Amino acid sequence: MKRFFEKFVESALLISGSITSITILLIIIFLFKEASGLFTTPVIEEGYELALNKTNPVKHLTSYEIKEIFDGKISNWNEVGGKNEAIELVRLSDLTKYYTEAELGSNFENIPAKSSELTSKHPGIILFLPTSYIKKDFNGTLLKHETLHPGDFFGGKEWYPTASPSPQYGLLPLLLGTLWVSLGAILLSLPFGISVAVYLAEIASMRVRNILKPVIELLAGIPSVVYGFFGLVVIVPFLQKLFQLPVGETALAGSVVLGIMALPTIITVAEDAMRTVPRAMKEASLALGATHWQTIYKVIIPYSKSGITSAAVLGIGRAIGETMAVLMVTGNAAVIPHTLLEPVRTIPATIAAELGETAAGGGHYQALFMLGVILFVITMIISISIEFIGKKKYSN
Amino acid sequence: MTNTRNIETNTNLSSPLGARGSLDVRGLTIDAKNVDFYYSEFHALKNINFEVSKNEVVALIGPSGCGKSTFLRLLNRMNDLIPGTRMTGSVLIDGEDIYAPNIHVDELRKEVGMVFQKPNPFPKSIFENVAYGLRVNGIKDKTFIEERVIESIKSAALWDEVKDKLNKSAFALSGGQQQRLCIARALAISPKVVLMDEPASALDPISTAKIEDLIHELKKDYTIIIVTHNMQQASRVSDKTAYFYLGELIEFDKTTTIFTNPKEHSTQNYVTGRFG
Ligand SMILES: Nc1ncnc2c1ncn2[C@@H]1O[C@H](COP(=O)(O)OP(=O)(O)OP(=O)(O)O)[C@@H](O)[C@H]1O
Ligand SMILES: [Mg+2]
C-alpha cells in the first residue's frame, strides 16, 4: 500500500515536471514560429507596387531607402545609386496634379493607362499605387517584391512600423533604449543595494534587521504599475526640473524607477550571500586584529563576490524584462538615444504598447514577436551567466 | 628557530597594552578575577579566578560543554560577537583591564592571538594569509612584510612544505598544514599571548606531534593557553593545567600535580578517564 502510494506520488511529480517543461518549450516554439515569418514579409506593403521609369538604372531599393524617399529625405536618385536626377514621388492621390478628373475617368477607369503613360514620360518618377491599377503592358519598371533583409531588422536604425509604403522594423533604437535604461538602473541601484546589504548583514542590530528585511522584501511585491505611477508623479517632474528638460520622461527616469524596483532583489540576494560567509572566516579576521570595516571589505565582500555578481545580474534581468513602469516614464520615443536625458523606448514597452494594434500574422505582428525572441535571448544569456557564476563559486 | 619576538624592536608594530607600561606588579600576563559569564540566561562560567605568568603554557581541560572555549574567547573578547552575552568580574592582561571602556578591541586582539579548532585560512594565497594581520595593522613596507611572513611560517614549522608555493591558494594545503598556517598567521603580528582552541583535534598523529613540538618552541616567546581533550597532549605540552567542570574552575595547578596528585576527586576522575 505504502509502496503504491510512493509510486503514485513519484509519477505525479514526474508528470507535473514534464508538463511544465513541455509548456515552456511550447511557449518558446510559439515565439520563434510567430517571429520566423518576419524575414519573409515584403518590404513594400502588400497589394501595392512601386514603379520607376524604364531608363532608371535603379532596380533595387532597401526598405530604409524607400522610407527616406517617401519622407523626402532622399530627393535625388544618385543617393541610391542612380543617375543625377531629382526624385519625383507620385502617390495615387497625386495623379490629379498631372491629369484632370475627366482624363482619369469618372470611375477612375483610366488610371492604369495614365499611370503607365506618366511613368514612361518622367525619368525621375517613383510611382506608388495599388497592384490592381497596374495593367499588363505597363510601361515602366516594377520594383521586385523583396522580403525584409535581416540587416534591416538587426541593423535598422528606425522603428516605425506604420510607415507607408515601407514599414521600418529597426531593432537598434529599441535594443539601445532597453540597454541604456537597464544599464542606468544597475549603475544606480548596485552601489546603493550593496551598501544596504552590507548594512543589513553586518551592521544593523537584529531588531533593525528584523524590521527592515521584510519591508524590503515587501517592496519586491509591489505591482510595477504602482512604481510607474510613483515615477510619473514624483521622479519625472523632479528630473525635468533638475536638468531643465523639455520633457521629464527620459531614459534616466526609467533607470531611476527600474533601479528602485531592482533594489529589493539586489539587496536580498547580496545580503544572503554575505550571510553565507562562514563565521570562522570573520572570526579569523577579527582575531588578527582587523576592525569590523577591514573585515567587511577584506573578507566578507571578496568572499561573497559571486553572490554579489548574481545579485547584479538578477537585478539587470529584472530591469530588462520590466514593461509597465518603464512604459509609463520613458517617453516612448523609438529613437536611438544619445544621452540618458532623452526619451527612449524599450523592447518590452514596445511589445506591450503595440501588440494590440497589429493584425495577427502581419509584418508588424511578426516584428513584435521577433522582439520577444530578442528579449528571450538576452534573458537567456543572463540566466546562463548566473549559472556560470554559480558554478565557478562551487568549483572554487 | 629564530627568535620571533625581537623583530618588534625594529618595526612599527606598536604594543598598545605594553606601550602604556602598565605591567602587572606581580608580573602576571593574564589575571582573571571573579569572572562570571552568561549566554543570555545561561550561566556559562561561574566565578573564575585564573592567573598565568609570562611564557607559561596552560592547558584547559574538562568535559564537553564545561566552558573551556567560552573562557578562552573571553581572553581576546571574541565573545563580544555573540549577541546577548554578559560578563562580570575583570580580566587583566599585562595588568590592563581588557574590558575597560577605553580598550580598543582590535588592538587587544593583536596582542592576544587565536588559533581555532578547525583550520580557517582565508581563501587567499598562503603568503596573503600570513600577511593579513600585518596589512590590517597598516604595515605597507613590502620587504618587512615579506621577512615577517617567512619568519612566521618558519616559526610554525611549515616552511619546508610551502616555500615553493607561497602564492598558491591556502585551500590547497592539507588540514594539518592549514592549521600550522593559521598558527603562522597568528604569530605574524607578534602577539603576547596565543590562545589555541583544540588546535590539533582535527589532525592526524603526525600533524599533532608537529604542533606539539611547535608549542614547545613557541613557549620561549609566547604565553600560550591551549584547550584540549587529549590528556596526553595536556601533560606533554603544558606547564599548568586548569580543570573546568560545569562552568566552574575546579582545579588549577602544575600539570604534574593535576595528573599525578590532584586535590579534587572530580579532577582525579576526569584525568584518569573514569569520567566524562
Ligand atoms: N553561542 C552560545 N549561545 C548559548 N550558549 C552557548 C553558546 N556557546 C556555548 N554555549 C553554552 O555554553 C556552555 C559552554 O560552552 P563551551 O563552548 O565553552 O564548551 P567547551 O568546554 O568548549 O566544550 P567543547 O569541549 O565541546 O568545545 C555549553 O553548555 C554551551 O551549550
Ligand atoms: Mg570548545
Closest protein CA for atom 29 of ligand 1: B65
Architecture of domain A172-395: Orthogonal Bundle (1.10)
| Per-residue pLDDT, A321 | 83
Contact B106 A396 (CB under 8 A): no
Lowest mean pLDDT across A78-82, A282-286, B190-194: A78-82
| Per-residue pLDDT, B134 | 95
| Per-residue pLDDT, B25 | 53
What CA–CA distance (Å, rounded) separates B123 from B140? Answer: 21
User: How far is A327 from chain B, CA to nearest CA, in Å?
Assistant: 45
Average pLDDT of span A368-383: 90
State which ligand 1 atom lies nearest to the alpha carbon of B40: 4
Q: How far is the CA of A263 from the centre of ligand 1 (A)?
A: 39
Tell me the three cell numbers of residue A335.
529613437
Instruction: Using a pLDDT cut of 90, give the percent of chain B over it.
Output: 66
Is A48-146 CATH 3.40.190.10? yes
Q: Are A43 and A144 in contact (CB under 8 A)?
A: no
Average pLDDT of span B206-213: 86
ipTM at complex level: 0.86
Inter-chain Cβ pairs, chain A and chain B, closer than 8 A:
64
Q: Are B158 and A311 in contact (CB under 8 A)?
A: no
Taking the CA atoms of B199, B201, B206 and B212 in sequence, report the sign of the dihedral they define.
positive
Query: Is residue A107 over pLDDT 50?
Result: yes
DSSP state of A75: -
Average pLDDT of span A201-220: 91
pLDDT tier, A392 (very low <50, low <70, confident <90, very high otherwise): low
**Which single residue is written with the C-alpha cell 613557549?**
B219
Contacting residues of A for B133, CB less than 8 Å apart: 288-290
pLDDT tier, B26 (very low <50, low <70, confident <90, very high otherwise): low
Q: Tell me the residues of chain B between 95 and 114 that have a Cβ less than 8 Å away from chain A.
A: 106-107, 109-110, 113-114
What CA–CA distance (Å, rounded) separates A116 from A128? Answer: 12
The values of phi and psi at residue B189, to 5°, are -95, 15
Query: Is residue A61 over pLDDT 90?
Result: no
Q: Of A34-48, A142-156, A366-380, which has the strongest mean pLDDT?
A: A366-380
| Per-residue pLDDT, A23 | 94
Contacting residues of B for A291, CB less than 8 Å apart: 106, 136
Neighbours of A240 (CB within 10 A): 17
Choose among B83, B106, B122: nearest Cβ to A289. Answer: B106
| Per-residue pLDDT, A295 | 94
Query: Is residue A54 over pLDDT 90?
Result: no
pLDDT tens digits along A293-305: 999 999 999 999 8
pLDDT tens digits along B68-124: 999 999 999 999 989 899 999 999 999 899 999 999 999 999 999 999 988 999 999
pLDDT tier, B21 (very low <50, low <70, confident <90, very high otherwise): very low
Query: Is residue A393 over pLDDT 50?
Result: yes
Partners of A117 in the beta sheet?
none
State which ligand 1 atom lies nearest to the alpha carbon of B117: 27
Closest protein CA for atom 26 of ligand 1: B64
Domain ranges of chain A: 48-146, 172-395
Q: Are B229 and B201 in contact (CB under 8 A)?
A: yes
Tell me the three cell numbers of residue A96.
490629379
What CA–CA distance (Å, rounded) separates A290 from B105? Answer: 9
Tell me the three cell numbers of residue A141.
519598371
Contact A287 B121 (CB under 8 A): no
| Per-residue pLDDT, B7 | 37
Query: Is residue B136 over pLDDT 60?
Result: yes
Kindly list the structural domains of chain B, giving each domain's residue range(s) and its CATH number in brackets, ordered by start: 24-271 (3.40.50.300)
Encode A313-350: b = buried (16+ Cβ within 10 Å), e = exposed. Answer: bbbbbbbbbbbbbbbbbbbbbbbbbeebbbbbbbbbbb
Higher pLDDT, A105 or B159: B159
Contact A290 B132 (CB under 8 A): yes
Contacting residues of A for B106, CB less than 8 Å apart: 286, 289-291
pLDDT tier, B182 (very low <50, low <70, confident <90, very high otherwise): very high
Hey, is the C-beta of B185 within 8 angstroms of any chain A C-beta?
yes
Query: Is residue B6 over pLDDT 70?
Result: no
State which ligand 1 atom lies nearest to the alpha carbon of B67: 18
Q: Of A250-264, B1-15, B197-211, which has the strongest mean pLDDT?
A: A250-264
Taking the CA atoms of A376, A378, A381 and A385 in sequence, report the sign of the dihedral they define.
negative
> Is residue B139 left, alpha or beta, with left meaning phi > 0 and alpha meaning psi from -120 to 50?
beta
The mean pLDDT value of chain A amounts to 88
| Per-residue pLDDT, B275 | 60
Contacting residues of A for B118, CB less than 8 Å apart: 280
Q: HSE (CB half, 13 Å, CA atoms) of A1?
A: 0
Closest protein CA for atom 22 of ligand 1: B69
The mean pLDDT value of chain B amounts to 87
Closest protein CA for atom 24 of ligand 1: B64
Closest protein CA for atom 6 of ligand 1: B39
Contact B136 A298 (CB under 8 A): yes
The values of phi and psi at residue B38, to 5°, are -130, 135
Q: Is the CB of B171 under 6 A from ligand 1?
A: no
Q: Are A47 and A38 in contact (CB under 8 A)?
A: no
Could you give the angle at the alpha carbon of A288 between the alpha carbons of A284 and A292, nearest 5°? Answer: 80
Partners of A90 in the beta sheet?
A127
From B69, B244, B250, give the residue whose CB has the most ligand 1 atoms within 8 Å, as the site to mutate.
B69
Query: Is residue A1 over pLDDT 80?
Result: no
Query: Is residue B15 over pLDDT 60?
Result: no
Q: What is the pTM of this model?
A: 0.78
pLDDT tier, A282 (very low <50, low <70, confident <90, very high otherwise): very high
Choose among A206, A281, A289: nearest Cβ to B136. Answer: A289
Q: Is the CB of B32 under 6 A from ligand 1?
A: no
Instruction: Using a pLDDT cut of 70, give the percent of chain B over it.
Output: 89
Contacting residues of A for B113, CB less than 8 Å apart: 287-288
pLDDT tier, B2 (very low <50, low <70, confident <90, very high otherwise): very low
Q: Of A321-335, A346-360, B242-256, which has the strongest mean pLDDT?
A: B242-256
